[in-house]
Amino acid sequence: MTENADERQDLSAPPQVASERQRVLRTGFIPLVDAAVLIAAEEFGFAAKEGLSLELVKDVSWANVRDRLAFRQFDIAHMLSPMPVAAMLGLGSNPSPTITPFSLGRGGNAITLSTSLFEQMCEIGGISETSSALENALALAKVLKNRRHKSEPPPTFGMTYPFSSHNYEFRYWLAAGGIDPDREVRLVVVPPPMTSDALAAGAIDGFCVGAPWNMIASERGVGRIVAAKQDIWPSAPEKVIAMRPEWADGHRDVVGRLLVALDAAASWCDIAENRKELAQALSDPRFIAAPADLLEHVLAGEFSLDHKGNKRIINGYFEFNHKAANYPRPSQALWIYSQMIRWGQTELSAPLAEAAARAYRPDIYRDALGKGPEDGDLRTEGDRDDDRFMDGHIFDPAHIGEYVAKFAVSGFDTPILRDDI
């Protein structure tokens, strides 16, 4: 056996013994900037300080990450924020109970369209280089109407996974412009590192994905960034640390130390003076394998919107720790559940809402770190000046059915209201 295999105690051992002996955590991740907290925890000694080592394993798809966590090839995993919710609802292939006690932060996504499509939006939709995300969506709707009039095929857009923030954010942006994402465009799954090449080859007409792949497309001259995650919902959780609930229960001491290490790493990642060192670490071929200077600009929220020199700066484009970014708020899990209902992936019921909320575990977070936001675990989302949805809707987790029914564009005509959830 290798040294790592010796240290990774068999989970059949009594929980207290396994917890005492566990030191190396086999950790799956996808090469994206929002894996920074995990990478920093290992590379800059935050995990070692807590007696842990993260064996970081780069994977190629979210489905792989999900399956390898379920089949115990990973102890913990970098995961899309909706994936634990979907798992707890039994959605997707091979669903296995999954929880998250820690979010890896906010921000990082953007919607990029082909330069030719953006030029059509300027010509037909009347937008400019400085138009807002909503104005861009409305312009795209005019382009699609013109295409239908000419009997031209709908555009094909890429996103990373059916149960992903990218899917729901892309759909939210499209629908805010009056576009039905299930009837007027074609959405397909494209792994993040392939999006820029797929756009350049004409296989897709746009995509929603995490950094740095949007800026890579814009700097190549093949794409134009038309909306960022912050434009759609600033407080949306992006990636999380996922684990099997029985593993968390059997390794409580390890989980506690892990969260302490990740909290310290996330705080370090948020310090502007550390960006150059963090970007250099992320650029390593073991991790993201992108130019360090580009990654540094991404971390600072400095966007090249296209190859013409148009730029945009989004303060707090990545928030790894600020404003309780790591807190796993169940009301955010319920917003994700509302979008699954909206787009016909699941139904509305009190038991399913309870299952969705259980995917996010603030109790474990508080036990480990002794802190949490003061405004509770179930709060109204989108009603703060720095936390508005792009279309002005406000989400009340106590009335999910009423919320979904308000949308003019939806996969459901009128959701059935049960138990006033």
Quickly state the pLDDT bin for 416 (edges 50, 70, 90): very low
Residues 67 and 213 in one domain: no
Categorize the per-residue pLDDT at 411 as very low, low, confident or very high, splitting at 50, 70 and 90.
confident
In contact, 33 and 318? CB cutoff 8 Å: yes
129 and 228 belong to one structural domain: yes
Provide the percentage of residues in the chain whose pLDDT is more than 70.
92
Between CA 4 and CA 167 the distance in angstroms is: 37
Q: To the nearest whole number, what is the mean pLDDT of the chain?
A: 92
DSSP 35-50: GHHHHHHHHTSHHHHT
Q: Are strands 223-228 and 109-114 parallel, antiparallel or unpaired?
A: antiparallel
Domain count, the chain: 3
Confidence of residue 225 (pLDDT cuts 50, 70, 90): very high
Higher pLDDT residue, 159 or 310? 159
Q: Is the peptide bond between 212 and the residue preceding it cis, with omega within 30 degrees of 0?
A: yes
Q: Residue 22: which CATH number?
A: 3.40.190.10
**In 96-154, which ranges are E strands?**
99-103, 106-107, 109-114
Give CA–CA dist 162/157, Å, rounded. 13
Domain assignment present for residue 323? The answer is no
Number of neighbours of residue 323 by Cβ within 10 angstroms: 14
The whole-angstrom separation of Cα 98 and Cα 118 is: 39
Residues 228 and 132 sit within 8 Å (Cβ to Cβ): no
Average pLDDT of the segment spanning 136-148: 98
Average of per-residue pLDDT across 334-361 = 97
- Residue 302 carries which side chain, given as an amino acid letter? E
Could you say which of 197, 232, 267 is where a domain stops? Answer: 232
Q: Which range marks the domain in which residue 195 is found? A: 109-232
Long-range contacts of 45-48 (CB under 8 A, 24+ apart): 46/261, 46/262, 46/264, 46/265, 46/268, 47/258, 47/261, 47/265
Task: Report the distance separating Cα 285 and Cα 68, nearest Å.
Answer: 22
What's residue 412's pLDDT?
64
pLDDT tens per residue across span 284-297:
999 999 999 999 99
Domain boundary among 250, 276, 308: 308
What φ, ψ does residue 267 adopt, rounded to 5°? Answer: -60, -40
Strand partners, 206: 113, 157
Number of CB atoms found within 10 A of residue 329's CB: 25
The residue written with tokens 């002794």 in the block is: 370
Which of the listed residues 182, 203, 232 is the one where a domain comes to its end?
232
CA 247/CA 54 separation, integer angstroms: 16
Identify the pLDDT of residue 309: 84
Q: Which pLDDT score is estimated for 419? A: 30
Yes or no: say if 1 and 24 are a contact pair by the CB < 8 Å rule: no
pLDDT surpasses 80 at 417:
no
Whole-angstrom distance, CA of residue 358 vs CA of residue 208: 27
> Can you tell me the mean pLDDT for 47-75?
96
Residues 395 and 360 grouped into a single domain: yes
Identify the band that residue 211 occupies on the pLDDT scale cut at 50, 70 and 90.
Answer: very high
- Per-residue pLDDT at 376: 82
pLDDT tens-place string over residues 87-128: 999 999 888 999 999 999 999 999 999 999 999 999 999 999
Q: Is residue 376 part of a domain?
A: yes
Same domain, 225 and 113: yes
